[in-house]
A = this chain, B = another copy of it.
C-alpha cells in the first residue's frame, strides 16, 4: 500500500540539514547563552545567527525578532501583551471571525479581564473586507489582529490593505498571525506594513517548540513570560538553543527555496482541487479558489462524517485532517467554517489536505482514485444521502 502524507499543516518532517545543525547543541554545546564564560559563547552566537536568519526571511531587523516556543505563544504575546501594555490608552481589540484559536481565545481572555472585542466577519471565501475593519476601528482601539492566511480553508488575506486601513483610521497596532504563510509564501513585514507578526518553525520544516514574534521598533508590549533578561527582557526563560538553531536553518532554507516550493505545490493543489470537485458529486471547495496557500486543499464532502472519512483514508495509507489540528479532538463545529456560512451538517464533512515537499502528482492521483469509493461507502450509510 502506498503511504501518502497530506497533513503538512499539522506537522512537517524536519529538513535533514535542520536536524544536523541542532545535534551539536544537544550534545557538547550545552552552555547557557547568558553565561560569562566560554561555554556560553557558541550557544550565544548560534542564537544570534538564528535571529538574523529569521529576520532575513521576513525582511525585518534582527533586533525586532523575539523567539518564543510556538506560534500560539507568539500570538498570545502579541494580543495580550499589546492589550495590557496599552490599557491606559484604550481597551478595544479587533480580530477577524476566523483567527486561529490562539488569537480568538486570547482575545476572549482579554474580554473577561475587561476589554472589548469586535469580531470582523468574512465573506464566503473567508476574506476580510478592509472596509469592515475600518468600520470597526474606534478611538480606544489599541490592537487589530487579522491573520495572513487561514490553515483550515487556505485563504490568504489582503493584509497590506487591511494594515493601511488600520494605520489611516486609528492609532492601533496591527498584528498578523503569519504562522501559515512564513516560509510557505514570500512574507515581507515592511510590504505588509505590520507592527507585529507571528511565525512558527514547525510550519516550514523547522523543529517543534519554535516560534517568533516580530515586534517593530517602538511597539509598546508587555511580556507574557516575565523573568530574566533573555530576549531583551521581553520573553524570559533559558533559550532553547538547539530548537532556535533549527529554526534558523529552516528559515535560511525557506528564504532560498520559497519560490521553488510554491512552483511545485500550486499545480498539485489545483489538480487535486479539480479532480475532487469535478469527479465527486456534492464536494465543495472551502476558502478562496486562487488567493490560497500553495499546498492547501480544503473541501466539504456532503452527507459524510469527517472522522469516519479520516479513518478510512488512514486505512488506505493517507494521512489527512478534518480541520485545524489544534481543535480536531475538541469535537465541535469549526468557528472558521461557521464564519464562511457552512451549515453544521455540511461542516461535519470537512476535509483538509495539506501538501508539501515530498508530495507528488502520483500521490494526488492516488488520492483521487481511492477517495471516491470511501465517499460512496460512507454515503451508503447516510439516511440524508439516500433521501436525495
**Which residues of A line the B interface, CB within 8 A?**
5, 7, 10-14, 19, 22-23, 26-28, 30-32, 34-40, 69-73, 75-76, 84, 100-102, 105-106, 108-109, 113, 200, 202, 207-209, 211, 222-230, 236-243, 307, 310-311, 313-314, 318-322, 324-330
Contacts and interface: CB of A to CB of B under 8 A. Distances in A.
A326 B230 contact: yes
Given A11-B39, A36-B311, A36-B321, 8 more contacts: A19-B26, A36-B307, A39-B319, A100-B227, A106-B227, A109-B222, A207-B240, A209-B242
A239 B328 contact: no
Contact of A36 (B36, B70, B310): B310
Contacts of A76: 224-227, 236
A6 to B, nearest CB: 10
A200 B32 CA distance: 14
Give me the 8 closest cross-chain CB pairs, A-B, nearest first: A228-B326, A209-B240, A102-B227, A70-B237, A69-B69, A105-B226, A72-B237, A11-B32
Contacts of A108: 226
A325 B34 CA distance: 6
10 contacts: A11-B32, A35-B325, A37-B318, A38-B314, A69-B73, A73-B237, A75-B227, A76-B225, A229-B327, A230-B326
A243 B311 CA distance: 29
A341 B11 CA distance: 52
Contact of A225 (B102, B207, B237): B102
Contacts of A69: 69-70, 73, 209, 237, 240
Contacts of A26: 14, 19, 22, 207
A340 to B, nearest CB: 20
B327 A102 contact: no
A77 to B, nearest CB: 9
Contacts of A328: 34-36
Contacts of A23: 19
Contacts of A330: 228-229
B237 A71 contact: yes
B10 A32 contact: yes
